[in-house]
Chains A and B, each alone.
Chain A
Amino acid sequence: MHAFAALIRHDLRLAARQGGDIGLVLGFFVLAVILFPFGIGPEPELLRRVAAGIIWVAALLAAVLSLDRLFASDYGDGGLDLIALSAMPLELAVLAKSAAHWLTTGLPLVVVSPVLALFLDLDPVALPALVLGLLIGTPAMSLIGAIAAALSLGARRPGVLLTLLVLPLYLPPLIFGTAAVEASLSAEGARAHLVLLAALALAALPLAPLAAAAALRQALD
């Protein structure tokens, strides 16, 4: 547990010292959302209908943007050797790094999302479903992203490969996340979609570290 907490603290401290990374992801998220009204026109009716989709897709792309540094810097400077030789199994180390990734990217996105939703004139009634959906979905995205980040280590163009690997894997959270917002505006309610989203996140919790750790061992070998 000692090593697990130390790794999270270490990654958070690094993110805080190199503050640019969090700002970059947040800036990308905000700008990407703001671009849409310019592209598709400012009619409130239209924006209201596509708001949830825009926010989810922008959050997803912003998360992908930050994934490439999840293991790459440790892989490049030898830090990954020391993590592999640490007192905890590599699977736990992946979990710690995913947690730190979520705290520095997913969580800020969740916090900013209601403001952007109101900017796109999303019905405030749907806000809880949007925020709750992102709160459940972004950890799943960090976990699933860890698999792709580990697999792309050592590739010639890791960033491109990572994006191609991870975007199809992000379809299920995207589908359930936006469906939850839609449903919350109807009599159906968002509950069923949010539960499915939670099931997805809970499945990723043990499976993603297993897969990512296996990929990391391959990369070190």
Chain B
Amino acid sequence: MFRGLDCRLPAGGALVLTGPNGSGKSSLLRLLATLLVPVAGRLLWGGAPVAHDPAGYRGAIHYVGHLDGVKPALTPREMLAFWAALRGAQYPGIDAALATFGLERIADWPCRWLSAGQRRRLALARLIAARAPIWLLDEPGAALDTDGEARLAAAIAAHRAAGGSIAVATHQPIALTGAMSLAIDDFAAPPAELAAL
């Protein structure tokens, strides 16, 4: 989908991926999350290939994609506790996560009662429930209202102030100070090359 793409994400840095639908923003994020394997190219973390310490790298990233993994039968509190436990977090900040995204009131409702925006907030709340220095966010603002967007922006600012980095794919203009912008369609692979794969 893309080629010749080279970028680095410093601690506290932000990378905004832009491009039309289908240009490969989500694919790049899944690639950064090691969920996709690149046809060619390398992914380095702290100067060393990720393949040297895949478990360590997985522990350092948070990936929030289009699909939120929310189970209709469980409550937001249960979902957050499960997600934090999956990451091996010993002291998960469930209440802090619920408060950050304004979910306290619905914390013990079954998730099937949640609206699309509330589910998105819940998916984002796992960024707070268990900490990781690198956030990979795919269209995090989708379905969020203005309050939700403000809470997301505040969470991102706090994360970066604490030395965390973020890579975000988005259509909406997102207020990120000192963010690098990467227009992914500049690196689009020629159609002939795609057909050869």
Q: Residues on A close to B: CB < 8 A?
A: 2-3, 5-7, 9-10, 13-14, 17-18, 74, 76-89, 220-221
Contacts and interface: CB of A to CB of B under 8 A. Distances in A.
A76 B65 CA distance: 13
Interface in B40-94: 55, 58-59, 61, 63, 65-71, 73-74, 78, 81-83, 85-88, 90
A82 B88 contact: no
B37 interface: yes
Given A5-B85, A87-B88, A220-B35, 7 more contacts: A3-B88, A14-B71, A79-B71, A82-B69, A85-B58, A221-B35, A221-B36
Contacts, number: 74
B157 to A, nearest CB: 24
Contacts of A17: 73-74
A218 to B, nearest CB: 10
Contacts of B69: 74, 77-82
Contact of A89 (B55, B66, B70, B83): B55
A8 to B, nearest CB: 11
Counting chain B CB atoms within 10 Å of each CB, which of A74, A78, A84, A221 scores highest? A78
Given A10-B82, A13-B78, A77 B67 contact: yes
Contacts of A83: 86
B88 to A, nearest CB: 3
Q: Which 5 A-B pairs have the closest CB atoms?
A: A78-B67, A6-B85, A87-B88, A79-B69, A17-B73
A78 to B, nearest CB: 3
